[in-house]
A and B are shown apart, each in its own frame.
Chain A
Amino acid sequence: DQQVKQNSPSLSVQEGRISILNCDYTNSMFDYFLWYKKYPAEGPTFLISISSIKDKNEDGRFTVFLNKSAKHLSLHIVPSQPGDSAVYFCAASSNTGKLIFGQGTTLQVKP
Chain B
Amino acid sequence: GAVVSQHPSRVICKSGTSVKIECRSLDFQATTMFWYRQFPKQSLMLMATSNEGSKATYEQGVEKDKFLINHASLTLSTLTVTSAHPEDSSFYICSASLQRAEDTQYFGPGTRLTVL
Report A's interface with B, CB cutoff 8 A: 4, 9, 32, 36, 41-46, 49, 89, 93, 95-104
Contact = CB atoms under 8 A, between A and B. Distances in A.
A5 to B, nearest CB: 9
B110 A89 contact: no
4 closest A-B pairs (Cβ-Cβ)? A97-B101, A43-B107, A97-B102, A101-B43
Contacts of A45: 107
Contacts of B67: none
Interface in B3-25: 4, 6, 9
Interface of B: 4, 6, 9, 32, 34, 36, 41-46, 49, 91, 93, 95, 97, 100-110, 112
A66 to B, nearest CB: 17
B101 A98 contact: yes
A93 B43 contact: no
Contact of B43 (A42, A49, A102): A102
B81 to A, nearest CB: 18
A100 B59 CA distance: 12
Given A98-B49, A103-B43, A43 B102 contact: no
Contacts of B106: 46
A101 B100 contact: no
B102 A44 contact: no
Given A97-B97, A97-B102, A43 B46 contact: no
Contacts of A43: 4, 6, 93, 95, 107-110
Contact of A99 (B4, B34, B41): B34
A99 B105 contact: yes
Q: Which of B6, B9, B110 has the most CB of A within 10 A?
A: B110
A73 B34 CA distance: 24
Nearest to B103: A97
B93 A98 contact: no
Contacts of A96: 101-102
Contacts of A49: 104
Contacts of B44: 44, 89, 99, 101
Contact of A97 (B32, B36, B41, B93): B32
